[in-house]
Structure 1
Amino acid sequence: MRILEALALPDGPHRLMDVAEHAAVPRSTAYRVLATLTAEGFAENCGEGRYGVGGRLSGLGARIVSAMSAGVGPALHRLQQGAGGNTVHLAVRVGDHAVYLHKVDSDKPYEMRSRVGHELRLHCTAIGKAILAHLPRDEVEAVMASAGMPSRTPATITDLPALHAELAAVREHGYALDDEENEPTVRCLGAAVLDRTGRPRGGVSISTVTFAVDREELLSYVPLLQDTVHAITDLI
């Protein structure tokens, strides 16, 4: 599975050594697994020691995204329309980061650079902080130890005490705010999608630009955002 993830990274096809490094397996193991994946159509030998995503894997991914979109798409589109036509994202947690699964673009004359499949850090994004706020303290610290807390902007939280204080506020208010912590001029509102045990599966966010939407307007969308995450709980 880690080798499949490596194949799907941007800028492919990838060298055997890079696939092995990302998957944390010996090069000989990666070669054997890739040979099987290629024979089954999940990988493609692109020549010169490089491997890419095979047609069977692409088809599987497309079917999964299509099924997901059919379930959550209407709710996310309603959120986008109710939130002033601003960009809406759905992401799920994958280990120490999250991955965008769905995006409803803004109807404004500007757009967010995000894309489906893009990975996002947890400590400096609205979805990420919403996810972290519903994890045990020791798990938060383990995730940060693994992923690190690099500074993305001057507003990024880069130490654990400050992050824990922020997560306590997220739990109290029921939403997370990325106030130019991941990208300059971008402010996002996020809430976690929880499973039936209260564990975070992922999150939904509304993304705005600071020169067009002020903080108060963005926060006015909190009730609609919370209604949306509750509506899609069983769909992701």
Structure 2
Amino acid sequence: MASDSASLDAARATGTAAFSKFMAVLQLIADAAEPPTIAHLAAQSGYPRPTVYRIVGALIAEGLVVESARGGNYALGARLMSLASRSWERSDLRIAAADALRALRDVTQETVHLAVRSGAEMVYVEKLESPHAVRMASRIGTRVTLYSSSVGKAYLSTLARAERDALLHGIAFERFTENTIVERNALDAELDACKTRGYAEDREENEAQIFCYGSAIVGTNGATLGCVSVSIPLFRKSETPMETYIAPLKDACRAIAERMSPGTR
């Protein structure tokens, strides 16, 4: 029996390692600005080219990845997009947030995002566009950092210090604009301020000329369910942000939390 248990544990470990490699390559394809080549994927993943060839071949066979018409470059496949679409459509949080997000977009007239944490990043699971011609360039599925985005900082500000430290440990801080906070002490001070005031700010830290306010959706059990942001082109930013953006944003987060609470859905 002990031998069988050891064999099962070894098989699980091998399967987990193989799956992790598949997911790493799939994530690189998803995150690439342009459809990557095998050489690019091998360089970015650190895996040998034959390994990457096998992984990409298996992903193509399952419809999760497709090869470009010219050949040699790879992009996400229709099956993966279908799975993602079904996930978003059936998301309890996305469904519960629909009315509040629409009201927030309508009252602010700016782009609104709903985001959840995914590993050491935040990912947008819903976006409502501003009716204005000039607006933020983003899409559902966009991943943003915890330390430079308003949704990321809002999320971090709800965590206990030990949990925050564990999540930020090992993250290589990248400067996206001259305003990006890349010093840990400065970020901790910023997050403490976010916690006190109940919302976060992205002051052109993730993208130049874009100012964002973010706030967390905190459930009745104290767990952070997700975060909502309002993104504003700097030239259009109101001189009364508390009334124009922040109060409606916090109201929306409270409304979503209530919809997610047992007995209110």
TM-score range, shorter chain: 0.7 to 0.9
Cα distance in 1 for residues equivalent to 2:168 and 2:46: 20
Correspondence 1:60 to 2:60: no
Change (3 A) 1:52 1:183: closer
Q: What one-letter code is carried by the residue in structure 2 that aligns with 1:29?
A: T
**Match of 1:100, SS?**
strand
Q: Hey, what does 2:122 align to over in structure 1?
A: 98
Change (3 A) 1:157 1:219: farther
User: How much does 1:140 deviate?
Assistant: 3.5
Correspondence 1:137 to 2:147: no
TM-score by length of 1: 0.82
Correspondence 1:227 to 2:251: yes
Correspondence 1:31 to 2:50: no
* 1:43-101 Cα distance to aligned partner (Å, 9 max, x none): 22447443322221122122223344555333211111122x11111122222222222
Q: What one-letter code is carried by the residue in structure 2 that aligns with 1:80?
A: R
Q: Hey, what does 1:9 align to over in structure 2?
A: 31
* Unpaired stretches in structure 2, ≥5 consecutive residues: 1-22
Equivalent position to 1:78, from 80, 99, 103: 103
Q: Hey, what does 2:131 align to over in structure 1?
A: 107
Change (3 A) 1:135 1:38: same
1:96–1:146: 8 Å Cα contact kept in structure 2?
Answer: no
1:189–1:218: 8 Å Cα contact kept in structure 2?
Answer: no
Q: What one-letter code is carried by the residue in structure 2 that aligns with 1:13?
A: P
Q: How many residue pairs were aligned?
A: 234
Q: What one-letter code is carried by the residue in structure 2 that aligns with 1:159?
A: E
RMSD over aligned CA atoms reads 2.8
Q: What one-letter code is carried by the residue in structure 2 that aligns with 1:108?
A: H
TM-score by length of 2: 0.74
Answer 1 or 2: which has greater helix percent.
2
Correspondence 1:198 to 2:209: no
* 1:193-214 Cα distance to aligned partner (Å, 9 max, x none): 3456534343110112333223
* 1:90-133 Cα distance to aligned partner (Å, 9 max, x none): 12222222222221111224211222222222222211111111
Q: Hey, what does 2:6 align to over in structure 1?
A: none
Tell me whether 226-235 or 114-123 shows the greater mean CA deviation: 226-235
1:98–1:202: 8 Å Cα contact kept in structure 2?
Answer: no
Cα distance in 1 for residues equivalent to 2:171 and 2:233: 27
For the pair shown, the structure with the greater C-alpha radius of gyration is 2
Equivalent position to 1:19, from 41, 44, 61: 41
Q: Hey, what does 1:150 align to over in structure 2?
A: 174
**Match of 1:227, SS?**
helix
User: How much does 1:220 deviate?
Assistant: 4.7
Change (3 A) 1:39 1:103: same
